[in-house]
Amino acid sequence: MQPPGGLRPYEEIVTDMLQRLQQEGTLTDVNPGSVVRTLVEAFAREMAAAYAQLKLIYDMGFLETAEGASLDRLVAIVGQQRLNGLRAEGRAVFKRNPRVAGQVSIPAGTRVLVHVPDLSRQVIYATTEAGELQAGQAQVTVPVAAPVDSGADPAAFTFNQTEIAAARIELLQPIAGVAEVGMPWPTAARGYQESDVELRGRVQGLLEAAGGGTAKAIEQAVLSTGLVKGLVLRDALDTTGPPLKPGELEVIVDGDLTQPGVLEKVREAVAREKGPGILIRLQPMASKSLVVRLRVLPAAKDLSADRRTTLRKAVHDAVRQAVLELKAGDSLLWRPLMARILTVDGVLDLSDVTFTVDGVSKPVIVAGAQQPDPDVMAGALERIALPDQGPGVTVLFTEEKAVVVRFRVGGLTVAESGRPAAAFAMAKAFQEHLAALGGGIGTERTLSYNLARQAVLAAAPGPVAGSATFVLDVTYVPGGAEVSLTAAGETLTIAAGEVAQVHPEGPVLNWG
């Protein structure tokens, strides 16, 4: 008996009214079936329905509880509307009037009425593009569509095969030369319509950002600088990190605060939006360093040098993109990563995979066998990242031998503010130098200490001391043998069949 959503249940209203009548002593016969009881129950039903309607009206006035058309009208107050690209689409067939012999044009926007009497439903479709009946052409098919109202059920705008066959279809405005129009095929809803939950969340975010002093406002302000990838806010109630005092807000930024100007601009963005009396503690997000080493079994044998280069880069890019897509707090799950690698055209299988996490080796696949616990887990305030100066990912094919090279520099005199840019420039120059040695895996190449040192130090912006030490460290994989070039004139021969690769972690830099 109770209407849904009422503030006062039907049974409660009946009980209250009967008790009041008995207390007043005027009407005492309240047994089921009596005239008094019947009248009370009838009135209580109407009152319960009225309470339900009042609660519904009340709820429709708040962003958190409004739905459908009421939500549309509510967000319109702040100049927003539901994103609606949903429409019912179909095809209409326009047939020629045999008494008209020439060309007949059917303009875009021509309206077609579809009415199904049995359903008491009608929809007006319109052609989405122009059509033409050429001389001698009996009929032409033109796509049509009808917009689906915001919050409406798309099924109310579409027709299945049975319904469309029973429908009356006609042009709302006659076209000279067109005898009749039909829609012999069913229609379907296509596109996207923002749901109540999505619309509510989007408008709430806009209101919070506009109001200032809220977590959303601070987040929007910091992200709008374009200098960070994300951030986490912690207050005194948050237990995921060191305890904070009431009034303190810790802003943990997923970005490099050591880069020139980044710290100042992020601090300004936070200060502009924070509430009065709030003490801000700005911290960089902890980074979990990851290096990935892969040995890949290609689908084809005897790969050409160009094909090896292309396939190696495709696997490298697939892994790197998967890591870059991780957000703060996201763990790197091995199975999705493996699936992404195996979808690369030309990859058959993986024979060996090793993750190095914060300098600790973590075997994932050894001799084709997957090891337990292959995932790399991240804490709520951590971000998994590849090295800044190194590629972070090395790819070898089955039976390939790698010559892994990195350089060490000491005594650099670059100013502290310019060190991040200098490190990046030198690392990039070394990668390009190693890639430009010439020849493929089937040819012999020479790595020169002099040329490598010149390429690296020339890329460092600002003055570099002539006495800066420079060392080339070379590791052979597999095998693990190591050798270093430490003096001018020294060279290293990279034999045919060996792949020259930059160390995934990048260079070792010691600033003077």
End-to-end CA distance of the chain: 84
Query: What are the structure tokens assigned to 279, written together?
Result: 């003490």
Residues whose CB is less than 8 angstroms from the CB of residue 68 and which lie 6 or more positions away in sequence, other chains included:
151, 196
Coil, helix or strand for 109?
A: coil
pTM of the predicted protein model: 0.54
Q: How many CB atoms lie within 10 A of CB 55?
A: 17
Average pLDDT per consecutive 10 residues, the chain (512 residues; last block may be shorter): 57 83 73 81 84 80 81 83 83 93 92 88 93 92 89 85 91 92 91 80 70 71 80 82 82 79 85 78 86 91 84 92 88 93 92 92 91 90 85 88 89 75 85 79 85 86 67 81 89 86 87 71
Distance CA 432, CA 427 (A): 9
Coil, helix or strand for 267?
A: helix
Query: What are the structure tokens assigned to 255, written together?
Result: 């970005």
Q: How many CB atoms lie within 10 A of CB 48?
A: 22
Coil, helix or strand for 164?
A: helix
Q: DSSP per residue over 416-468, as a string?
A: GGGHHHHHHHHHHHHHHHHHTT-S-TTS-EEEEHHHHHHHHHHHSSS---TT-
Give Cα separations from 132 to 96, 109, 124, 126, 184 (angstroms). Answer: 10, 14, 21, 15, 19
Query: What are the structure tokens assigned to 193, written together?
Result: 């319509």
Quote the distance between the C-alpha of residue 198 and its chain's center. 15
Query: What are the structure tokens assigned to 385, written together?
Result: 């990242």
Give Cα separations from 135 to 100, 104, 138, 171, 294 (angstroms). Answer: 9, 8, 9, 22, 65
Residue 209's pLDDT is 58
Cβ–Cβ under 8 Å, residues 438 and 493: no
Q: What angle do CA 312, 317, 322 make, to 5 degrees?
A: 135
Residue 169's pLDDT is 94
Residue 24 parent element (H or E): helix 10-24
Nearest to 17 by CA among 51, 35, 54, 43: 43
Q: Is 451 exposed, middle or buried (0-12, 13-18, 19+ CB in 10 A)?
A: middle
Q: Which residue has the tokens 């002539």?
A: 466
Residue 475 parent element (H or E): strand 469-477
Residues whose CB is less than 8 angstroms from the CB of residue 217 and which lie 6 or more positions away in sequence, other chains included:
208, 209, 210, 211, 273
Going by the DSSP 8-state scheme, the letter that residue 120 receives in this structure is T
State how beta strands 139-147 and 87-96 pair: antiparallel
